[in-house]
Structure 1
Amino acid sequence: MREPKIDYAAVFRALPGMVALLTPELVYVDANEDFVRLAGRTREQLLGRYIFDVFPENPNDPAAAGMRETRDSMLRAVATGERDTMAVLRYDIEDPQRPGRWQEHFWSPVNAPVLGPDGQVVLLVHRVEEVTELLRARGGPGGDSRARVLEAELYTRARELQEVNERLRKAHAHEREVALALQEALLPAPEPLRHQQAAVRYRPAVSALNVCGDWYDLVDLPDDCLAVAVGDVVGHGLAAACVMGQLRSALSAATRVADGPAQALEALGLYARSVDGAESTTAATAFVDWDDLTITYSSAGHPPPALLHPDGSVRFLDGATDPPLGAHPEHARRPQATTPFVRGASLVLYTDGLIERRTEDIDAGLVRLTDSLTRHRDTDPEALADALLADLLPSGGNTDDTALVVIRL
């Protein structure tokens, strides 16, 4: 049986309920028939215009917050690439037939991003349930009074929820500020290395709750060697920053006395058992030997370091991967592997915020990383680090924090 050809444009126009499509800049590009009808605007009045130019806030209501809350929800969806569902809110609109007259409306919006092949948000689906008429339904004698009471109660509850959300937002913002200050103190710029070029970067998540679990470290070792490490604590916020600081210090100390990266991670794993919140932390560490031109590495459940050769080819160092810290019920030896390098190559260690997206397989992120490394192979570590962040992180910020180390070998 031949499958029917579907006219998706016609399907969109016929969708029940109000649905509009906007650009990431919040400009209308399409709207279905119900949206046009219930919003009281023609398609010509919508398409190509900024949403809040079409529907500004009611200037007669100094307490109105519908525009700000709707804009914040839309920008969150664009920044995070995830759906954002709003509580019922009051958002009055101007009567198109009587300019200056504002009509009271209650809406229940949902904002959902549409991702392109590169994982970036290309459209925003703005779906709205109009609940005003339900609140104003007549139910016989006294019905109008009961409807107005219900409307008032709903509006009061919505405002209370908005106030709670605002208090939570301020609390999270304060926690974010404190956590980032602690993170900055714990992740200072590295001291100059003997004769290598290195660049480090830390980019916090856009969410106040998703910061401060990632770290990096560089340690000059005897016999012309360098140790470099990155790690990622599962938790977030202040608690994650505290755990991160303990684990980073412990690994840095273990690195200075260990025979190799595997032994350093073994010591870190034993220490992590005594640290609340350290379970399932991932880490990768590599020892670079400048005399032998070799890299010896080990990974505890972490994304593999990348070795960028001067010709632009990329090899992921995935030959010594073991589970995250605390995953073994008993202490076990961790693997390590050694690979050669040539002068002029670059070693790149990073945390999963650089490559992982919730809507896709990790291999897609590794492909993006490979392409970016190849394109920028002739740049110095500072420029390469900036290029990787620009190429791989969403323009509006990422939902997870990111640590990155680039070393010219």
Structure 2
Amino acid sequence: METVILVVVIALVVIGALGGLIVGSRKRKQLPPPPPAAPDITAPPAEPHVGDEAETPREEPRRTIEEVDLPEGSAGAPVAVEEPPSLVEAPAIEIPEPTAGRLVRLRARLSRSQNALGKGLLTLLSREHLDEDTWEEIEDTLLTADVGVQPTQELVERLRERVKVLGTRTPDELRGLLREELLNLLGTDFDRTVKTEPEASKPGIVMVVGVNGTGKTTTTGKLARVLVADGRTVVLGAADTFRAAATEQLQTWGDRVGAFTVRGPDGGDPASVAFDAVKEGKEMGYDVVLIDTAGRLHTKTGLMDELGKVKRVVEKHAPLDEVLLVLDATTGQNGLVQARVFAEVVDITGIVLTKLDGTAKGGIVIAVQRELGVPVKLVGLGEGADDLAPFEPEAFVDALIGE
């Protein structure tokens, strides 16, 4: 009996040991990997890390437009085609106002600001008794109008003689008397034409000089309009290289009337630009070359010397036909100081008086001509493009003393 129990116990132990081995082997067996998760289409693609091998690009077959399926509803739909940007139209060429009689047409504007001188003189001369005090007032009126000391003394002396001989003094007689004497001072025998037709070969060469603030660049542009109105072709030389605004301004004036503008780099050599302008004018067969120089302070000796250099360089091509000095009529006697210095450097041949409409000091015309011995050839009577007019002594005096 004991033997049977022992056998049963041994059998149970053996069965238990075998069961433990089976269970342990099951626990040690690796489970199969889980199925891969669906890719997240919203997540950004992983960036390659340092050392990763770049994938060799694969060429995919390209499909023609016939093989591409259009989305439903798009068949026959119009395709929007972007239109090319419209080209900027070039500015229309302007036709300047004719210059013949331009001063007469602007006479009303001139007389509004100038006839204070004429009316003042006529009022004084119409007094019943012309005593010494009255003649002193006449002198003061002329000096205030910037006629100048010497011309004033000459005018008063002649007026005294003629009034004494005349005896009776009706308004018409006084007006005629004053008109004659003013014309005598202005000079009617000056040649006031702007020389732009050289005898040898064109182009005519005109250099425009003056100090800053006199309206020199604007005057050069307006002079181009005067010449174009008279049927001339014009080249503009922007030799005021120290002011970028002056170059742009002159370019604009030229574009408006079809003039060709030669310009150089900002701060470049003015003489070089002037030389190139004359060269272009000769090669292209233009009639006139206008050279706008930098505004020179007459107290700066070095700058004035440079202006002389521009003149010498230009004359390597051909002699200058005109050197026009632009003066501001409102500067009065200070303008005469400027005129004196410029005349010593570049041999002034004519004067342009600007801002003559804004002052009652029209006598500067007489004074500056007397100072330089050269005529006033052009006057600026306003800010309009065609307000630069050839100077006509008769029209000027008529505006000065009124009707």
TM-score bucket (shorter structure): under 0.3
Q: Which has the higher helix share?
A: 2
Which has the larger share of strand? Answer: 1
Q: Which has the larger radius of gyration?
A: 2
Q: TM-score under structure 2 normalisation?
A: 0.26
If asked which structure has higher relative contact order (CA below 8 Å, sep 6+), I would say: 2
